[in-house]
Structure 1
Amino acid sequence: MAPVLPLVLPLQPRIRLAQGLWLLSWLLALASGFIILCSGHLLVQLWPLRTFLAPSCAFPSLPQVALAAGAVALVTGLVSAGASRASLDAARYPPWREVLSPLLLAGAVVGGGLLLLALGLALGLPGSLDSGLEEGLGAALTHYKDTEVPGHCHSKRLVDELQLRHHCCGRHSYKDWFVVQWVSNRYLDPNDQDVTDRIQSNVEGLYLIDGVPFSCCNPHSPRPCLQNRLSDPHAHPIFDPRQPNLNLWAPGCHEVLLVYLQGLASTLGGTLAVTSLLQALVLLGLRYLQTALEGLGGVIDGEGEAQGYLFPAGLKDMLKAAWQQGGVAPRPAPEETPPEGPPQEGPPET
């Protein structure tokens, strides 16, 4: 049975393979460390933004899977660096001979599986951010007034911090505040005729105004912030509704958060792709180096040429052998016995 993808490795190519593998292993460790930093940063950024994502949005699982993939890739890189360094010394290599095969298997199955899963999430999950932010921001604006309702008492503070930090207003624009009641009921005077008229004129009994919270105000505006009666062209002669950025933050929080989070996911996805390629090269190189040294008794500068390979036998033969060892090989049919006929009578006795 011929080995799979054999490669002849003389002395100098074996040494260069070990040295290059040591360098690639450290590059893998650095790339996986960068994955840990990127996924940790994304996880920290998502923590205060979890209120503005729909519960069904799976985007927060991306940094968690990427963090696990980066940790496994980091261990793979450090172990591979140690093994390739030890392979250059015949006295230091023997302890690695028994553990390299399990490490290669774990790195390929666990590490490779986590990296591919995280890369798939980085490519697929950002598309779900649009609907997740649409639903989450809409619920946050609706509960802005519920400062005394358990479970929603922090919505006002979180929305204000979001708009102040990311320089945005409303879900898509400042006009989103015109269709939700954002003033708490405890600040409304039930004896005020204007308050009563506004509540009665709304089908849902909400107090709607054409104003925005203070966190929508642009502190760099050259004029005082105008928060109320923004739809009345005669109320504020100096306010131009066509240029709200002179007074209010123009972009909506949906657009700002979508671009921001997708940018972080894109950076993380690129790092995951590079790390996956580095890990594949490291595992392949380490496998060839391991099998080549096995033919030389663990001595890299042994005499003669060594042959490295991925598998010791053909895949078809290996699968066939495993199938037969599992006891599921077809059993030969039992030989047919001739049917028994009537007993023949012996010759008459004389």
Structure 2
Amino acid sequence: MAVMKVKFNQKKRVKLAQGLWLMNWFSVFAGIVVFSMGLFLKIELRKRSDVMDNSESHFVPNSLILVGVLACAFNALAGKICYDSLDPAKFTKWKPLLKIYLALCIFFIIFIFFVVLVCFLMRGSLESTLEQGLRNGMKFYRDTDTPGRCFMKKTIDLLQIEFKCCGNTGFRDWFEIQWISNRYLDFSSKEVKDRIKSNVDGRYLVDGVPFSCCNPSSPRPCIQYQVSNNSAHYSYDFQTEELNLWNRGCRESLLNYYSGMMSSMGVFVLFVWLFEIAVMIGLRLLHTSLESITNPEDPECESEGWVLEKNLKETFKTTLENLKNLGKLNQVDASAEGADGEGAKIQAVSTVS
């Protein structure tokens, strides 16, 4: 029994073709939007490439760009097919290609669904990428005189100001690294010598943070040095001074920013996926309704359209049998080639004898 079997007359076929033509061009516009979203996300990720450990995060924008390009190509072609279906003479050239086109559409829809899943599940990979990238970026913060790293201080400062964050997971991350360049340290000072000697790696560590960690909403001037020393400042308790520095780490801020963006894009692509399924089903109905016309000379005659000629179970069995027969055919070909080879060897031996 056919699945989604529908009876059509000439008027219904024309309406279906016209409706599918409009839907396909709407899908072309949606493909342009998806392409633009992927391009925008790629540009945003490249802006922060200095604080990202690898290029895995670019898989999502690259996939969105590919989906957008394929959606434009597939739906523009489908729109042309639907337009030509109104003219039997023009539609004849498309008949041999329609089954192949519909098979490609199935793979395309599966790919779109995979991209939707990636948009929602990329958070874990993105978090590890940001964690390692920010850690490396903070280590290079002091290297303002090193070629290739001299820009890192500006990048980190602008990042902390823009996203209102401090450090990797919080402002205490700055206590664990030397973020002040040796160029600006007075090595004749006893305090500097004592701090360097007290550290195993010979680093100058302070309980201070860069100026970009300061919260401008704080009612008092920013305290960025001796942050954890209550006695160094009047009427100060670093555990209760929440407005002094940004409490949120930059990893969390960037993760929420990018994952929120990807989730929004994933929702849009999900609607595109549902729309593409509707277009494919409509195109299949149009295809079968035109093929089942009993009298091509009478355009007004009725016909039947369906999505699957048999039910799901029978369709699955038929597909499986076809695949098995294809495998057996390949085996027979291989055996025949082997037999031909053996025959050639025997003939060659007989000739030599």
Q: Take 1:243 and 1:40, find their aligned partners in 2: how far apart are those partners?
A: 43
SS at match of 1:307: strand
1:75 corresponds to which residue?
73
TM-score (norm 2): 0.81
Q: Take 1:123 and 1:205, find their aligned partners in 2: how far apart are those partners?
A: 44
Could you say if the C-alpha distance between residues 326 and 169 of structure 1 is closer, same or farther in structure 2, counting changes exceeding 3 Å?
A: closer
Alpha-carbon contact 1:11-1:301 (below 8 Å) kept = no
Unmatched 5+ residue regions in structure 1? 332-350
Q: Take 1:88 and 1:155, find their aligned partners in 2: how far apart are those partners?
A: 62
2:43 corresponds to which residue?
44
1:277-288 matches, within 5 Å, as 277-288=274-285
Cα offsets for 1:291-311 (capped at 9, x unmatched): 221333997982322122346
Q: CA deviation at 1:127?
A: 2.1
Cα offsets for 1:164-213 (capped at 9, x unmatched): 21111111222221111100111112111111000001122110111111
Letter in 2 for 1:126: R
1:249 corresponds to which residue?
246
Q: Take 1:59 and 1:301, find their aligned partners in 2: how far apart are those partners?
A: 57
Could you say if the C-alpha distance between residues 297 and 182 of structure 1 is closer, same or farther in structure 2, counting changes exceeding 3 Å?
A: farther
1:320 corresponds to which residue?
321
1:22 corresponds to which residue?
21
TM-score (norm 1): 0.82
Q: CA deviation at 1:260?
A: 0.7
Q: Take 1:94 and 1:8, find their aligned partners in 2: how far apart are those partners?
A: 21
Could you say if the C-alpha distance between residues 309 and 155 of structure 1 is closer, same or farther in structure 2, counting changes exceeding 3 Å?
A: same
Could you say if the C-alpha distance between residues 105 and 211 of structure 1 is closer, same or farther in structure 2, counting changes exceeding 3 Å?
A: same
Q: Take 1:233 and 1:299, find their aligned partners in 2: how far apart are those partners?
A: 92
Letter in 1 for 2:42: L
2:306 corresponds to which residue?
309
Letter in 1 for 2:78: S
Could you say if the C-alpha distance between residues 150 and 300 of structure 1 is closer, same or farther in structure 2, counting changes exceeding 3 Å?
A: farther
Q: Take 1:329 and 1:138, find their aligned partners in 2: how far apart are those partners?
A: 55
Alpha-carbon contact 2:27-2:276 (below 8 Å) kept = yes
SS at match of 2:205: coil
Q: Which moved more, 1:37-46 or 1:85-94?
A: 85-94
Alpha-carbon contact 2:160-2:213 (below 8 Å) kept = yes
Q: CA deviation at 1:95?
A: 4.7
Q: Take 1:43 and 1:272, find their aligned partners in 2: how far apart are those partners?
A: 16
Could you say if the C-alpha distance between residues 290 and 195 of structure 1 is closer, same or farther in structure 2, counting changes exceeding 3 Å?
A: same
1:268 corresponds to which residue?
265
Q: CA deviation at 1:323?
A: 4.2
Q: How many residues end up aligned between the 2 structures?
A: 328
2:339 corresponds to which residue?
none
Q: CA deviation at 1:258?
A: 1.3
> By percentage of residues, which structure has more helix?
2
Q: Take 1:204 and 1:163, find their aligned partners in 2: how far apart are those partners?
A: 27
1:228 corresponds to which residue?
225
1:171 corresponds to which residue?
168
Cα offsets for 1:38-78 (capped at 9, x unmatched): 222211111022222233x7322111112101211122222
**2:294 pairs with 1:289:** no
Once superposed, what is the RMSD of the aligned Cα atoms? 3.0
**2:74 pairs with 1:105:** no
SS at match of 2:304: strand
Q: CA deviation at 1:246?
A: 2.8
1:334 corresponds to which residue?
none
Aligned match of 2:149 in 140, 149, 152? Answer: 152
Alpha-carbon contact 2:174-2:207 (below 8 Å) kept = yes
Could you say if the C-alpha distance between residues 299 and 146 of structure 1 is closer, same or farther in structure 2, counting changes exceeding 3 Å?
A: farther
Q: Take 1:307 and 1:20, find their aligned partners in 2: how far apart are those partners?
A: 18
Q: Take 2:90 and 2:41, find their aligned partners in 1: how far apart are those partners?
A: 41
Q: Take 2:29 and 2:229, find their aligned partners in 1: how far apart are those partners?
A: 58
Could you say if the C-alpha distance between residues 162 and 247 of structure 1 is closer, same or farther in structure 2, counting changes exceeding 3 Å?
A: same
Could you say if the C-alpha distance between residues 330 and 41 of structure 1 is closer, same or farther in structure 2, counting changes exceeding 3 Å?
A: closer
Q: Take 2:129 and 2:168, find their aligned partners in 1: how far apart are those partners?
A: 12
Q: Take 1:209 and 1:300, find their aligned partners in 2: how far apart are those partners?
A: 90
**2:198 pairs with 1:209:** no
2:345 corresponds to which residue?
none
Could you say if the C-alpha distance between residues 13 and 287 of structure 1 is closer, same or farther in structure 2, counting changes exceeding 3 Å?
A: same
Q: Whose radius of gyration is greater, 1 or 2?
A: 1
Q: Take 1:33 and 1:300, find their aligned partners in 2: how far apart are those partners?
A: 41
Q: CA deviation at 1:235?
A: 2.2
Q: Which moved more, 1:28-37 or 1:203-212?
A: 28-37
Alpha-carbon contact 2:285-2:307 (below 8 Å) kept = yes
Unmatched 5+ residue regions in structure 2? 333-353
Cα offsets for 1:226-245 (capped at 9, x unmatched): 22111121222255524545
